[in-house]
Amino acid sequence: MPDLSGRVAIVTGGARGIGAATARRFRKDGARVVVWDLVAADGVRAVDVTNAEAVAEAARETADREGGIDILINNAGIVDDDFAESLTLDSWDNVVKVNLTGTFIPCRALIPHFRARKRGRIINTSSVSAFGNRGQANYSASKAGVIGLTRTLALELARDGITVNCVAPGIIQTDMVARVPPKVLEKFAARIPLGRFGAPEDIAALHAFLASDDAAFITGQTIVCDGGLTLGG
């Protein structure tokens, strides 16, 4: 089990789903966890990850209160699906703003802090949809952008001891997936070699590994966690 004792982690979109599972796992592994989300709940700070000023203020407050920040998990994201010919520009803009810009803004806010400490872990969230998925032009493009952002930040920050990696989940049993039509889910289920959808805890375990000292020599990578869905068998 990864040891995160004494580490301070920020988890965006951490009020439910994968984010909430990650917060629970990190606490189990010894970390102190600060959750940012728009959803009001106990232990959750309301932070809009697309608002640069709000993120900067929350980062300063967290660093002051906790004595430093070690880990950033960028998990906040939305979907608004439609086929490209029907996709509105508002839908395009909103999804890209939350999923891509909402990943960049927390990264940018914490980079000076990590550089000053000569260490840090940034773990971003992409998706297997980044490789293309019907009806998700906006979502796929935003998640492909997260992969490019991850690789670029890894190059820029390596000299300061900061690793930047990306997780690309497959179909995970969350509220977001629950809104997908059952017939569509059945088709996907038949394509997963391991025979099941993922659980939020599967992604949380990967987050914990990438945040730990065991992953100290891994950076700039996109790790697919999809039960074999993208193998194409």
Backbone phi and psi for residue 35, each to the nearest 5 degrees, phi listed first: -100, 130
Beta strands in the chain (DSSP E): 8-12, 32-37, 44-46, 71-74, 120-125, 162-169, 222-225
CB atoms within 10 A of CB 65: 10
**Assigned token pair, 212:** 């730990």
The residue from 36, 114, 139, 197 that is catalytic is 139
Contact 157, 111 (CB under 8 A): yes
Kindly state the DSSP code that residue 174 receives in the 8-state scheme. Answer: S
DSSP 136: B
CA distance 171 to 127: 9
What is the SS3 assignment for 35? strand
- Block residue for tokens 């891509």: 100
Residue 37 catalytic? no
Q: So which residues are the catalytic ones?
A: 139
